[in-house]
A and B are shown apart, each in its own frame.
Chain A
Amino acid sequence: AQRVTQPEKLLSVFKGAPVELKCNYSYSGSPELFWYVQYSRQRLQLLLRHISRESIKGFTADLNKGETSFHLKKPFAQEEDSAMYYCALTRRPGRRALTFGSGTRLQVQP
């Protein structure tokens, strides 16, 4: 069975500091990895997916198959980045249901 691990429940940084939210996964096949973000009082929304290899709001994430990791990074945190971040995977091809990690709350202090 697949599993997603986010070891940090809370990450607090100062504005302008680099951010790295850790995500490790276990799955025997070839999964698709995602980062979802949930801002206060808003619904869950997609931040980025590994197959797109794009940068959204300054965030990037690289899939490391050797380390089975998909860490989310941003060089300079902004206060508006404060939110709950969830790493998730889905089996590909086919089933699109998501397996989520437990989430990391990012607090960016002024």
Chain B
Amino acid sequence: GAVVSQHPSWVICKSGTSVKIECRSLDFQATTMFWYRQFPKQSLMLMATSNEGSKATYEQGVEKDKFLINHASLTLSTLTVTSAHPEDSSFYICSAGRLEETQYFGPGTRLLVL
């Protein structure tokens, strides 16, 4: 099956710094990728839809200036958490898929903001 990778797998940063998370589709091209956020013992919540070559579509309540998404190529989407604060600490997961097929999930990135 298709493989989606994320980097880094975990990151610890100081409050006020920015953190970039990469999501790559390793063996297929993805015109659309999705970014989810998962709090401890909670479900995955869709944050935004990343569209190759155009602006991301954000879900209601997600600050687009806080969570910058760039989908510069068909195999790479990046999520940048700008001026991170402790409340941004979470597990961030991306997914990608070919056209109308099943979504494949990355392993997730655990962010801890001190």
Please report the C-alpha to C-alpha distance between residue A102 and residue B42 in the assembled complex, in whole angstroms: 6
- Assess whether A65 is interfacial by the CB under 8 Å rule: no
Q: Is the CB of A98 within 8 A of B43?
A: no
Number of interface residues of B (CB under 8 A): 19
Assess whether A46 is in contact with B42, with CB atoms less than 8 Å apart: no
Contact B34 A44 (CB under 8 A): no
CB distance A100 to B102 under 8 Å?
Answer: no
Q: Which residue of chain B has the shortest Cβ distance to A105 in the bound complex?
A: B41
Known contacts A43-B107, A46-B102; is A100 also within 8 Å of B97 by CB?
no
Decide if A74 is an interface residue (CB 8 Å cutoff). no
A97 and B49 contact, CB distance less than 8 A? yes
Contact A98 B103 (CB under 8 A): yes
Within 8 Å CB of B46, what residues of A? 97-99
Q: Is the interface of A mostly helix, strand, loop or mixed?
A: loop
User: Is B32's beta carbon under 8 Å from chain A?
Assistant: yes
Question: Complex formed: what's the CA distance from A66 to B58 in Å?
Answer: 32
CB <8 Å contact, A96 and B32: yes
The contact of A96 among B44, B97, B108, by CB within 8 Å, is B97
Chain A residues whose CB sits within 8 angstroms of the CB of B45 once the complex forms: 100
Which A residues are in CB contact (< 8 Å) with B103?
46, 96, 98
Q: Would A100 and B43 count as touching, CB distance under 8 A?
A: yes
* Complex contacts, A100 vs chain B, CB 8 Å: 43-45
User: A43–B93 Cα gap in the complex (Å)?
Assistant: 9
Chain A 90-110, CB-CB to B under 8 Å as 1, else 0, gives: 000101111111110000000
Partner of B34, one of A43, A46, A98: A98
> Which B residues form the contact surface with A (CB < 8 A)?
32, 34, 42-46, 49, 93, 95, 97, 100, 102-108
Closest 3 CB pairs of A and B: A44-B105, A100-B43, A102-B43
